[in-house]
Amino acid sequence: MTYKSIKGTRDILPSESWKWQWAEEKIRDVMHAFNFREIRTPVFEETPLFARSIGELTDIVSKEMYTFQDRSGDSLSLRPEMTASVVRAYIQHSLGEHSPLVKLYYMGPMFRQERPQAGRLRQFHQFGAEAIGAQNPTLDVEMIALAIAIYEALGVKKTTLKINSVGCEKCRPPYKEMLKQRLWKVRNELSQESQRRLESNPLRVLDSKAEEDRRAIADMPLLKDHLCPDCLAHFNDVIGGLVGLGIGYEEDGHLVRGLDYYTKTAFEIISKDLGAQDALTGGGRYDLLTEELGGKPTPGIGFAAGIERLMMVLEKQKLFPDGATRTTLFIATLGREAQRWAVKQALELRSRGLCVELDFLDRSLKSQMREADRLRARYVMIVGENEMVNRTVTIKTMETGEQKSVTFDDVTNFFDISYNQ
């Protein structure tokens, strides 16, 4: 009996993990440059936290959450996204008392029981940012600029920013009612999925990708034409800010997000290099969420971005740097005594920051040299019985083939000089 990873989950093997680390480091650098600080929250929470924030009737909560009862009978769920957890932590730790605008970022695994396909997994990873405490439309612009700055730092080309307003508690309900009535008239032309959503979540019908829905909703009224003066002014302000920064955008009146907590600004960054699941990033404003979760009324805005999808684009656009990490030094040894010396020497060199590998399989010198090649070692140091007697080693610089005899006492010095060049 052997075991396999669960459908929709993946192992990130060493041949790939260095790429993740490379991207994560760049993401962190940009987050820090924008003065966002990392938050790490548990991967599971009380189920009602997600039901309250994301919405009982959304696909995520009604169909996709990994929900289970623990041994004390509490209903817990693996987090399907992070905003709810971040806002929970914001309230629980009174973060707003220390700073009027709290800027947080995160990276980590999320869990949704979706139908797995390219770019859609059941355990996937997101990075994201949340800014809690300001209603200023310039902050919306700053958040969009942050997401774009990250893709730019990674070298990603050809992304498109789509933007819309999903209104607020004043203008959305009457629009929703009107939309429902209009959709009702064409319900027979809608897909099964949209017919089901018509009652529960009519706004989602608007961003359906199904061909028959597209036709049926072509001339439906759009929320952006029915915004209240406050939401309209906010939207125009955000657009003005984007123009001011020279950020290209497409207004998309059909863009509604799959989470109920959004208000006003909603946006997505998409890539044509992704195929059907083309969204790299989704985000928006959530001015009512903190209050909804029991905190003081506090506006906020954030975005979440899929890391697997980012990896697909980076791969497609050939943006990873050349090659995996290299071993700096391989110490080839012959005999137990030489091995013992090598272990000690390796400790010393590693404490100075070198990546050092040695042989633990008692291989022949020839096969140790092959291993050094496979590891792309920059240097190989050979220690056999003679070397132990003479207290001298041979160090070969692999790129040039140059060999040098170095006394035991001079080994660290040799690498201090060579490695720092």
Q: What residues line the site for ligand AMP (CB under 6 A)?
A: 81, 112, 114, 119-121, 124, 126, 257-258, 279-282, 304-306, 308-309
Residue (53 or 327) nearer to ligand AMP, CB: 53
Q: What is the DSSP string of 92-149?
A: HTTHHHH-SSEEEEEEEEEE-----BTTB-SEEEEEEEEEES---HHHHHHHHHHHHH
Minimum CB distance to ligand AMP, residue 131 (Å): 17
What's the sign of the alpha-carbon dihedral 7, 13, 16, 17? Answer: positive
Shortest CB 123 distance to ligand AMP, Å: 9
One-letter amino acid at 195 equals Q
Q: How far is the CB of 381 from ligand AMP (least distance, A)?
A: 45
In the bound state with ligand AMP, the residue whose beta carbon lies nearer, of 81 and 252, is 81
Residue 54 CB coordination number (10 Å): 24
Shortest separation between residue 254's beta carbon and ligand AMP, angstroms: 15
Residues present in the chain in total: 421
Nearer to ligand AMP, 19 or 182 (CB): 19
282, β-bridge pairs: 268, 304
Mode of pairing for the β-strands spanning 250-251 and 159-165: parallel
Specify the residue, 124 or 235, whose C-beta has the smaller distance to ligand AMP: 124
**Residue with smaller CB distance to ligand AMP, 112 or 172:** 112
Question: 210: which residues sit within 8 A by CB, 6+ positions away?
Answer: 191, 193, 194
Nearest approach, Cβ of residue 119 and ligand AMP (Å): 6
What are 285's two structure tokens? Answer: 């404003």
Is the Cβ of residue 62 or residue 339 nearer to ligand AMP in the bound state?
62
User: Which residue is listed with tokens 């010095």?
Assistant: 413
- Going 33 to 35 to 41 to 46, the CA torsion angle's sign is negative
Closer to ligand AMP by Cβ: residue 123 or 394: 123
How would you write 312-338 as a 3-class SS string?
Answer: HHHHHCCCCCCCCCCCCEEEEECCHHH
The nearest distance, CB 6 to ligand AMP, in angstroms, is 14
Q: How far apart are CA 34 and CA 145, in angstroms?
A: 10
Q: How far apart, in whole angstroms, are the C-alpha atoms of residue 267 and residue 375?
A: 44
Question: Among all residues, whose Cβ is closest to ligand AMP?
Answer: 306
Would you say 126 or 194 has its CB closer to ligand AMP? Answer: 126
Report the nearest approach of ligand AMP to the CB of residue 130 (Å): 12
**φ/ψ bin of 118: left (φ > 0), alpha (ψ from -120 to 50), beta (otherwise):** beta
Q: In the complex, what is the shortest distance from the CB of residue 274 to ligand AMP, in angstroms, rounded to a whole number? A: 9
